[in-house]
Structure 1
Amino acid sequence: MKLNDLCFFYHSGANARRVVGAVTVAREWYEVGGEGVVDVKAVGEMRRPLDLKELKGDEGLKGFQLFRQPRLSVVPVSKEVWERVCELGGGFEGDGKEVGGGDDDDG
């Protein structure tokens, strides 16, 4: 994880395994008390959180490493997976994409 990388924020609790937002790396890996740490900063919530079950059922996400790791910490996300997750979740607040009935001059 490199400074300013975008990352998904994923809840991994027993009752709520889902992608809920996007964060950016604010400080690269460092050690605290023998543990590796990466500081992140919130970018925005997903417009529609995505449960693990829904993600696993999507053909475009087959083979995503998130599905193979029983205890999640950090997994790489390819550009294709990033784009598909964002598409399924309607993007995230702060992604620069407008959502909903904006004023459109197309007639």
Structure 2
Amino acid sequence: MKAMKLNDLCFFYHSGAKSRRIVGVVEVVREWYEDDESGGGCVDVKAVGEMRNGIDLQEMKRESGLKDFVLCRQPRLSVVPVGEDLWVKICEMGGGYEGDCGGENEV
């Protein structure tokens, strides 16, 4: 999370056991800061748009272009980097989102 920068686009990923899927895109509106209440750190994000079709983890694992994507190997991670090629591929798989695909991205 410390590497996330203001205005970065990120996928919003449900990591629950029954619903592991990318469901939308958010934008970083406040970079990493220490959270006094939790003793940890966080970033603040705002919703950009929902994916037109949520992308299930199993669907991502079957896609040959995503086999090296760290989320497919460790699906419980909360934040992983997403390169430009992966970002475009995932947006295509989900039919896009309510906004424009592109930019420097995280999950």
Please, what TM-score do these two structures have when normalized by structure 2? 0.85
Q: 1:57 aligns with which of 58, 62, 65?
A: 62
Specify the alignment match of 1:104 in structure 2.
Answer: none
Provide, for residues 55-85 of structure 1, a one-character-per-residue CA deviation record: whole Å limited to 9, x for no partner: 0100111110112225311000010100000
Q: What is the root-mean-square deviation in Å for CA atoms of aligned residues?
A: 1.2
Specify the alignment match of 2:88 in structure 1.
Answer: 83
Q: Does 1:44 pair with 2:88?
A: no
Unaligned runs of 5+ in 2: 102-107
The structure 1 segments of at least 4 consecutive aligned residues displaced by more than 4 Å after TM superposition are none
Specify the alignment match of 1:8 in structure 2.
Answer: 11
Aligned-pair identity in percent equals 68
Q: Which has the higher contact order (CA 8 A, sep 6+)?
A: 2
Unaligned runs of 5+ in 1: 97-107
Please, what TM-score do these two structures have when normalized by structure 1? 0.85
Specify the alignment match of 1:102 in structure 2.
Answer: none
Larger radius of gyration: 1
Provide, for residues 18-70 of structure 1, a one-character-per-residue CA deviation record: whole Å limited to 9, x for no partner: 00000000100001132110100000000000000000100111110112225
